[in-house]
Amino acid sequence: MSGAIVLSPSFGYIQEPEVIFKKVLNFFIKGVEYDTLEAPSLPIVIPKKVEPKVSAKEPLSVNKRTISVARKKKGKVVTPGPLRVSTLPSVISPTPKQTLSILGVIQYTNNARLVNKLVPLTGNELLNRNAQIKLNDMFDKQYFDHVSPTGVGPADLAKKVNYLFVIVGENLALGNFDGDQALVTAWMNSPGHRANILDTRFQEIGVAVGKGIYQGRETWLAVQSFGRPLSSCPSVSIELKAIIDADTIMSTYLHAQLDEKKRIIDGTNKSDRQYNVLIREFNALIPEYNLLIEKNFANTVRYNNGVTIFNTCINNNS
């Protein structure tokens, strides 16, 4: 969302009347009006957490590529159709003899990235938890899809484990693969899953593998959870925004004081001895007010520059 900070204009000095021989002259010099410091309305954009939603999709065969995305400004989900090994007999064992491992799946995934001259993914414990929750849920509820029967999708799981992201992706596989390499090879042979593995936007990975009963048969399930953390984008200074808010309140208070003093001055007879005292009090507040306005203006520009950099990072990586 965006907002605006409107900075109040500064006051010019009012020249104090000359006093000769401690007598107030009947003729006073008009106060000089200085140019005011206009602070234009500058947009304050506060990043707001957006929870992406992924619509349910039917599992597709591995020779088709489908990427379902939640098109939200701050968080994208990439989920190619789940991989069923029944369509890939060359890499499948009839029984779950081979063992799948988290480290092995990550290793062969990164090998595939290195072959394609991409930076390896870093293992992330939150994404590991994310993947394990997904795997357990599929066995428990006996489904094989990116969205559970209760409507829980990849973005919801990321939220559950407190993984703040720019973009997340998920690959699923079901069947008895002949080891970690065969599993990753099957994903790489599927365009949608390959796209996730080789996506340059992803920086981190979590994996879960497990053997259990699915539709009456003992089989393996595998989950890859990909992510680019929100921390990969330069953060917007919350502390600076708090300073801007506090200075805005103070400048509003000082502005009200100056308005009140000016009202009293305008209503005071110039022959009144209190007139000069009022003017001195008014002018004494002006440097403090103008300094605060200039500081707030500079901080607003700094804050908005940070917001621009953050939003550019989000948009370029989602």
pLDDT 10s digits, 43-93: 323 233 333 222 222 222 222 222 222 223 445 555 555 555 543 333 444
Residues 106/205, Cβ–Cβ less than 8 Å? yes
Closest CA to 306 of 246, 234, 247: 234
Assess whether pLDDT exceeds 50 at residue 16.
no
What is residue 79's predicted lDDT score, i.e. its pLDDT?
A: 56
- Does the pTM of the predicted model rise above 0.95? no
Which residue would you say has higher pLDDT here, 203 or 86?
Answer: 203
φ, ψ at 72 (rounded to 5°): -120, 150
* Distance of alpha carbon 159 from alpha carbon 182, whole angstroms: 31
How large is the average pLDDT for residues 264-277? 88
Mean per-residue pLDDT of the chain: 75
pLDDT 10s digits, 109-163: 999 999 999 999 999 999 999 999 999 999 999 999 999 999 999 999 999 999 9
| CA-based torsion, 243, 245, 251, 257: positive or negative | negative
* One-letter-per-residue 3-state SS of 120-143: CCEECHHHHHHHHHHHHHHHHHCC
What is residue 5's predicted lDDT score, i.e. its pLDDT?
A: 29
Greatest mean pLDDT range, 35-44, 52-61, 179-188, 288-297: 179-188
